[in-house]
Chains A and B, each alone.
Chain A
Amino acid sequence: MTQVAEQPSTGTRPSPDAPRGPASDVGTPGVAGSARRPGRGLRVSRRLARTVRGVVRRNRHGLVVTGVVVGAWWLVCALRLKSAYVLPPPDRVWEAAVAMTTSGELARHVVTSLGRVGAGFALAFALAFGVGVLAVVAPRVHAYLSPALDFLKNVPPLALIPLLILWFGIGETPKLVVIVLTAVFPMSMGITKGLRSCGQDLLDVGTSLHLSPARTFVLIRLPHALPDVLVGMRVSLGYAWRALVGAEMFAAAAGLGALIVDAGNMARSDKVIVGVIAIGAVGLATDRLFARLVRRYLRWGIDDSWR
């Protein structure tokens, strides 16, 4: 059983199906029953196989659900419950995706959208942070501001699009504004809550150490707020992605939202579905990446809810 000795170090935590691990490895070509001193190529492929297995194991729940959904989709198409015009079968969508990937079309849209979401998210963060700081540094000023913000929070940004076009034209600005308006509120709520919730007991420590208000803010209030700030940021990141189609609905040459709108106008349901999957996938990837960075660099206030 050379197998067992090779097994550790795939993950840090024992996964629920760990006992099944070694047994399920048997049968992977090139791994089972390999020689004692494997060649370099073999070693690389073995490592690759292990990585793939790790990814599959970590995402097994998602993969199962994906499989079920695609299966049902395929079944609906195969039984002709919906016409291919309304619901193109999975293989047609797959072909469209491959074509769009190889032509570079998809990458162009993804990059454009990533840029917009990134810029909008950064701007929203700056605004939200300013609001949060105001709430604790100048609560009176914040009191004047917060009713207006609460009002705006309840207005769907898409409802503002006609006005935004009149005011800002059809360039990048209105697109950015839509993303910012969508992303700023969950973040400002998280940041404000986090900054406000720092107890007087900890702030008094700052006083006892003769810290200036600014240093107390940076050394005590801000790190204390960090978990709430990060939750707000994570929620907002998702919101920013969800705003994308709305933001790119008008006069956008590129971007996943534009892709979807254009494909819809040309009755290319297959390309619409590729666009939808791409938005979801890129959004999911950024969300996971964010959570990973947080888990890696924050050792306090981040519990198992951060996945």
Chain B
Amino acid sequence: MTAGAEISGLHKSYRLNDRTVPVLVGLDLVQRDGITVVVGPSGCGKTTLLRLVAGMERADAGVVRVRGTGRIGMVFQEPRLMPWLTAAQNVALGQRRGRCDTTALLALTGLAGFEDALPHQLSGGMQHRVALARALANGPSLILMDEPFAALDEQTREGMQDHLLEVQRTTGMNVLFVTHSLDEALYLGDRIVVLRGGRIAADHTVTRSSGRRTREPDDALARVIRTTTQREEP
């Protein structure tokens, strides 16, 4: 197995007005190659999980290790581009001069010809693609994606999903993708884990009989996952 997160016994809670809100309570997950999708409703701790893996947050207990080169890319829920930089400059942000080919990265994400556009001159979907190109800039072996397409309209979202699959095939990187959308999880995931009650409640490996992805996913699997995500809290 190449790059991926290895998480065991992860605990994290936040303090909220003298109250302790537990978010993750003993989460275990060993990532395998391909696209791992963490699915769960809004507020279940998906962002918290990714921030812990990215090292932006400290765990209360447990271990987060990242296998591989240590080069991790991250795509946030919002594009978070620097409004004062062009698309190309955003992609090259923080990279050593000449170390990354911004033109090629923008072409890879379908933005050839938009190198000099400022973020406000780009549509939402294009901004997200710049953000993806930026995350790819240091050649990550693992990329973390936090509902990156949630704010997009359906058509753009589907285009972006196909784009991501294409990029993943080209680069061979592994992806840890979180989403609240079961449809998205079923379309993208090679493996789908359900986050519920602060830990992994279900873990499914997706086998695609035809070997191809379709937008009409395996009904049986969808039913199984749906029952796990919707079960009442204990």
Interface residues of A (CB under 8 A from B): 201-202, 204-211, 215, 219-220, 223-224, 226, 298-301
Partner of B94, one of A201, A202, A209, A301: A209
B93 in contact (CB, < 8 A): yes
Quick check: B78 and A201 within 8 Å, CB to CB?
Answer: yes
Size bracket, chain B contacts: 20 to 34
Query: Could you tell me the distance between the alpha carbons of A210 and B95 in the complex, rounded to whole angstroms?
Result: 10
A contacts with B: majority SS: helix
B7 in contact (CB, < 8 A): no
Distance of B96 from chain A, by nearest CB (Å): 11
Quick check: B80 and A211 within 8 Å, CB to CB?
Answer: no
Residues of A within 8 A of B72 (CB): 208, 210
Distance of B136 from chain A, by nearest CB (Å): 11
Closest B residue by C-beta to A202: B80
Contacts A205-B93, A224-B84, A299-B118 supplied; 16 other A-B pairs, CB < 8 Å? A201-B78, A201-B80, A204-B56, A205-B80, A205-B82, A207-B55, A208-B56, A208-B73, A209-B137, A209-B138, A210-B72, A210-B94, A211-B94, A300-B83, A300-B118, A301-B83
Residues of A within 8 A of B52 (CB): none
Residues of A within 8 A of B56 (CB): 204, 207-208
22 contacts between A and B (CB under 8 A): A201-B76, A202-B82, A205-B82, A207-B54, A207-B55, A208-B54, A208-B56, A208-B72, A208-B76, A209-B93, A209-B95, A209-B134, A210-B71, A210-B72, A211-B94, A219-B93, A223-B84, A224-B82, A298-B84, A299-B84, A299-B118, A300-B84
Shortest beta-carbon contacts, A-B, top 8 = A300-B84, A208-B74, A209-B94, A211-B94, A205-B80, A300-B83, A207-B56, A223-B84
Query: Could you tell me the distance between the alpha carbons of A226 and B56 in the complex, rounded to whole angstroms?
Result: 26
Residues of B within 8 A of A207 (CB): 54-56
